[in-house]
Structure 1
């Protein structure tokens, strides 16, 4: 999945969740002063910004395959080394970091086992590799109402529920298959408030991720129908979307 979209579009769509999820994932990874940490699939920089607040810019490195996201992260995170690279081919020597973290990335890796294996390779022996993925399969991710509506329009739509790590227990299985030891799993929950349905709906029209791509493929009548189906599934305004992510950590 390509994210060749403006960083501001991602910020409005998933960034509002990423910023709240980042501290919880950093806690799970045991991020602490004195460490050097790698953010894999950094996007525009939500997790990296949290890491900078804990470690300082010089101790944080980030990678992402999207050119627009790399540019945005470099602009936003002065002093952080940001490289354009996929998780499956990290441009760093073995044992370079004290932790490697992938926030909302594993399910978009072309080869999740290879990506997690690369994260383990560049992490020092005994140190932590951690990741999280939305609970799309359990219907508790932030896009649940959208995909419920989308399946009415197209029962065969790829609603992300089959993506890597999106079901309970699968992320831990992936870490173990990639060679991580002492794997532990948990769930992380965040809530995002919306002043109106329009505030919630508008980001889906920006072309971000699978949901944005699905919306963009519809004609005007179908898009209007999707909008109304979504509206019927959400509470009266203002409302809060509570989203759960499966998370796991292991040791290299």
Structure 2
């Protein structure tokens, strides 16, 4: 799935969650000086920026199917090799990296197993391929409140729990099917503070991702009803939202 929205819109919608998540995910990659890392499905660069800060921009590459996102990474991180492309056909040779990571993208790949296998192809033997996806199945994803409200109004709302990698053990299975060995997994958690419900809600109106696209397709009265349903599920005034993401990693033979 390609996000055909401006990089700024994506950053306002998902960046508030993906940027905090990038820190523990980078820790999970066990980075060391001198390693080369690839960020697959980099978006506007939440994880890319953390990788570049820890390894140096010249040791980091990134790829995304959205040209505006690639342009945003090039502007933000000029030392990074950022390219336009898809996970299933990565534009790098075999064994080019020590780490290949996909943050919040496996569930949007056209073929998750093929995408992860490509990540393994461009990673050297003994290197690590890792991925993380929000815990939609367990209900701890940052968008869970939105989809719970939407389903209460519209039982046919798609949600995102049906997507690959969103439940326990799913990323492990996908990595195994892609040929990775010694696969392990864990749950990464973050917390995000909001000054008001409006601060939380407004980015949903930008049309980003499945949630934004679904909301944009609804008539005005239904959008208002979903908004009210969300407000009933969240505290009045300021609040902190905790969220969980499944993370899994495996080694390349």
Q: What TM-score do you get using the length of structure 2 for normalisation?
A: 0.98
Q: Residue 88 of structure 1: SS of its match in structure 2? A: coil
Gaps of 5+ in 1: none
Residue 87 (1) aligns with residue 76 (2): no
What's 1:24 paired with?
A: 24
Match of 2:165 in 1: 165
Question: Which residue in 1 is equivalent to 2:10?
Answer: 10
Task: Establish whether residue 250 from structure 1 lines up as the match of residue 250 from structure 2.
Answer: yes
2-structure distance, mates of 1:157, 1:118: 32
Between the aligned partners of 2:203 and 2:123, the Cα distance in structure 1 is 35
Q: Deviations over 1:184-233 (max 9, x none)?
A: 01000001111000000000000000000011001111111110000000
Shift in Å, 1:2: 2.4
- Find out whether 1:181 has 2:172 as its counterpart: no
SS at match of 1:158: coil
| In the alignment, structure 1 residue 109 sits paired with structure 2 residue 112 | no
Query: SS where residue 211 of structure 2 aligns?
Result: helix
Aligned residue in 2 for 1:154 = 154
TM-score, normalised on structure 1? 0.99
Aligned to 1:196: 196
Gaps of at least 5 residues in structure 2 are none
**Local SS of the residue matching 1:94:** coil
Q: Secondary structure at the match of 1:182?
A: strand
Residue 51 of structure 2 is matched in structure 1 by: 51
Q: Equivalent residue of 1:89, what SS?
A: coil
Deviations 1:73-105 (A, max 9, x none): 111111111000000000111000000000001
**Cα shift at 1:156:** 2.0
Moved over 6 A (4+): none
**Which residue number in structure 1 is paired with residue 69 of structure 2?**
69
Give the aligned partner of residue 121 of structure 2: 121
Match of 2:34 in 1: 34
Matches of 2:139 and 2:249, distance apart in 1: 22
RMSD between aligned residues: 0.7
Secondary structure (helix, strand or coil) at the match of 1:54 reads helix
